[in-house]
Amino acid sequence: MTFTEELNRRRTFGIISHPDAGKTTLTEKLLLFGGAINEAGAVKNNKIKKGATSDFMEIERQRGISVATSVLAFEYKGVKINILDTPGHKDFAEDTFRTLTAVDSVIVVIDVAKGVEEQTEKLVKVCRMRKIPIIVFINKLDREGKDAFDLLDEVEQKLGLTVTPLSFPIGMGYDFKGIYNIWEKKLNLFDGDVKQTISEGVEFTDINNPELDKIVGEKHANNLREELELAMEVYPKFDKETYLKGDLQPVFFGSALNNFGVKELLDCFIEIAPTPQAKMADNRLIASNEDKMTGFVFKIHANMDPKHRDRLAFVKIVSGIFKRNTNYLHVRLNKKMKFSSPNAFFAEKKEIVNESYPGDIVGLHDTGNFKIGDTLTEGEIINFKGIPSFSPEHFRYINNADPMKSKQLAKGIDQLMDEGVAQLFILNLNGRKVIGTVGALQFEVIQYRLEHEYGAKCSYENLNMHKVCWVEPEDAKNNEFKDFSRVKQRYLAKDKDGQLVFLADSDFTIQMTQSKYPSVKLHFTSEFS
């Protein structure tokens, strides 16, 4: 296959939603349709309790939520699909925001009963800002929920989208009969008893055909005809170009748990979703069909396999072909590096790949060279933009609960901070370690992972801080900065990279500090230089 053919058959997308909307279940079912797994994790019997394939960390299986983005690749009808299943919980939104820099399109999952929820609004806002093409999947139709038109209105109003339904439900909840696939002009009937089989649609080009009354009943058939007529009048006709620009969002209805409506979504997705897109670097736009390889690190994961203590940097290939055992420039370190075992992913299963193309996600074994946002090239000095780092909002002192394991604790903290799970600050005054996170639940995840992956125990003490500010003095030798350092010494610390930070207890403190010491600039992210 030529480079252009490989490029055109790739689709890289993220799945986003509020917790419990069924995002991980949808991921599972997409894998099931792609033939990547034989049985979904939602299938539970008394002897085996499987977790979802994409939730491979032990804590995710225990709590039933995703706390890290997982990467899954599979082939479907000759198309290479890369899915990034993101955490829905707001405490792990930082991971999701970073992942959105590595996708070319997204599928937003909405619960039919709850409608649009807070976390979905935040994530869709980011997608709209970046003009990422969006497909909406309204899930759990086999449960009682809101009316289809009410849901479409809610999606338009709360998320600011322009929607067009490409499938439409027949009934809902206990009265759910199936969906009419507008995209393929097919009727799919729902059978609640057969949860694990894949229903084949019946061709139905003319919904006025009296045959429809026999199949779903006269009442449902008439309702469907009226609703489809109304939908055609109210909503714009689907146009692929408008969708790809991020200005029109197709909507599908279904029930991921019951494998219903998922195949329709996938079949349409591979036809309309964008191929790998160009990405902006600091000095130019990098097109995906350029010859030279470029890529960036959007995620780091320690202990993909706890037995081997391996640490992987996830790299999104932007242009060119990434080849095994080839020298590439690590731009930040200005150092040539080659990789003997680059990995492709299937949840925690990995396989070594010789070549990867734009859109692919490659896992590189890392001994501590990579940070989130790092760029790899064939020699060009560029840095990709827009990989966010957030100022923490929750702070706690971290203490060693087992003095015999201080080395393990130090190593564990070091590696987990590189992942971007949280940030570490060491106080200048007494050397105490402070952990800062975006969400409170991350403290629990850190504690759990330190114990189960590194054999180290920690305890926390509350620290009443409002925000962390990175300090940039105009002149480190002037009297104003010296005075600032003396007066604020109790609140000064160094971050993991040795940059000076100021831990402020309120917005008022930040304002007062800025007016008193105008030559000392305070930043809310570490990337200000």
Digit-coded pLDDT (tens) for 280-338:
888 899 999 999 999 999 888 766 555 555 678 889 999 999 999 999 999 999 999 99
Residues 162 and 189 in one domain: yes
| pLDDT higher at 455 or 200 | 455
Give 51 or 426, the one with higher predicted confidence.
426
Q: What per-residue confidence (pLDDT) applies to 90?
A: 53
Collapsed DSSP state (helix, strand, coil) of residue 300: strand
* 255 DSSP 8-state letter: B
Q: Can you give the pLDDT at residue 54?
A: 44
Tell me, yes or no, whether 319 and 422 share the same domain: no
- Which amino acid is present at 367? T
Q: Is residue 382 part of a domain?
A: no
What is the identity of the amino acid at 461? E
Closest CA to 148 of 244, 247, 261, 22: 261
User: Does a structural domain hold residue 386?
Assistant: no
- How far is Cα 104 from Cα 226, in angstroms, rounded to an integer? 36
Question: Which residue in this structure is represented by tokens 């993909």?
Answer: 304
Helix, strand, or coil (residue 506): coil
For residues 294 and 266, membership in a common domain is answered with no
**Residue 49 pLDDT > 60, yes or no?**
no
The token pair that represents 200 in the structure block: 């084949």
Spatial separation of the C-alpha atoms in residues 198 and 494, rounded to whole Å: 56
504's enclosing H/E stretch is: strand 500-504
Q: How many domains does the chain have?
A: 3
- Model confidence at 174, in pLDDT bands (50, 70, 90)? confident
Query: Using an 8 Å Cβ cutoff, are 41 and 31 in contact?
Result: no
Tokens of 167: 């499938």
The pLDDT of 28-50, averaged and rounded, is 51
Length of the chain: 529
Torsion of CA 17, 21, 26, 27, to 10 degrees: 50
In a domain? residue 528: no
CA dihedral defined by 365, 371, 374, 378, rounded to 10 degrees?
-30
Mean pLDDT computed over 80-88: 75
Q: Do 261 and 333 belong to one domain?
A: no
Q: Are 359 and 411 within one domain?
A: no
Contact criterion met (CB below 8 Å) for 10 and 78: no
Whether the CB-CB separation of 260 and 187 falls below 8 Å is answered with: no
Of 332, 348, 377, the domain-final residue: 377
Tell whether 173 and 27 lie within a shared domain: yes
Q: What's the DSSP call for residue 215?
A: H
Do 372 and 485 fall within a single domain? no
How far apart CA 153 and CA 166 sit, in angstroms, is 15
Residue 385 domain-assigned?
no
**Quick one: pLDDT at residue 529?**
45
CA 59 to CA 517: how far, in whole Å?
Answer: 45
pLDDT tens by residue, 13-28: 988 887 777 777 888 8
Q: What angle do CA 521, 526, 528 make, to 5 degrees?
A: 55
The pLDDT value given to residue 15? 87
Looking at the structure, tell me whether residues 71 and 89 fall in a common domain: yes
Q: What's the rounded Cα separation, in Å, for the pair 384 and 382? A: 7
Q: Domain boundary at 313, 342, 377, which?
A: 377
* CA 330/CA 308 separation, integer angstroms: 25
The answer to whether residues 360 and 477 belong to one domain is no
Instruction: Write down the mean pLDDT value for the chain.
Output: 82
Of 377, 412, 429, which marks where a domain is finished? 377
Look at the alpha carbons of 511, 516, 519, 522 in this order and tell me if their dihedral is positive or negative: negative
pLDDT at position 114 over 60: yes
CB 132 within 8 A of CB 246: yes
pLDDT for 420 equals 72
Residue 84 has what pLDDT? 83
| Pairing mode of beta strands 423-427, 394-400 | unpaired
Kind of pairing between the strands at 458-462 and 520-523: unpaired
pLDDT over 70 at 66, yes or no: no
Count of beta carbons in the 10 Å neighbourhood of residue 290? 14
d(CA 35, CA 246): 30
Please give the distance of CA 454 from its chain centroid, rounded to a whole number.
26
Residue 319 lies in a domain: yes
Measure the CA–CA gap between 163 and 160, rounded to whole angstroms. 9
The predicted pLDDT at position 88 comes to: 45
Neighbours of 503 (CB within 10 A): 22
Domain extent for 350:
279-377
* Co-location of 312 and 402 in the same domain: no
Q: How far apart are the C-alpha atoms of 60 and 51, rounded to whole Å?
A: 9
Q: Is residue 388 domain-resident?
A: no
The verdict on residue 447 lying in a domain is: yes
Q: How much is the pLDDT for 67?
A: 40
If one counts every other C-beta atom within 10 angstroms of the C-beta of residue 130, the result is 13
Q: Maximum Cα–Cα distance for the chain, whole Å?
A: 88
- Identify whether residues 86 and 166 lie together within a single domain: yes
Residue 361 shares a structural domain with residue 473: no
Task: Categorize the per-residue pLDDT at 202 as very low, low, confident or very high, splitting at 50, 70 and 90.
Answer: low
d(CA 317, CA 73) in angstroms, rounded, equals 14
What contacts 459, CB < 8 A, 6 or more positions away?
A: 398, 399, 401
Whichever domain contains 109, its CATH number is 3.40.50.300
pLDDT value, residue 348: 47
For residue 75, the SS3 value is strand
Would you tell me how many other CB atoms lie within 10 Å of the CB of residue 7?
18
pLDDT digits (tens, 9 = 90+) for 234-283: 999 999 999 999 999 999 998 888 888 888 899 899 999 999 999 988 88
Q: Is residue 79 part of a domain?
A: yes
Higher pLDDT, 123 or 356: 356
pLDDT value at 190 more than 80: no
> Residues 491-514: what's their mean pLDDT?
91
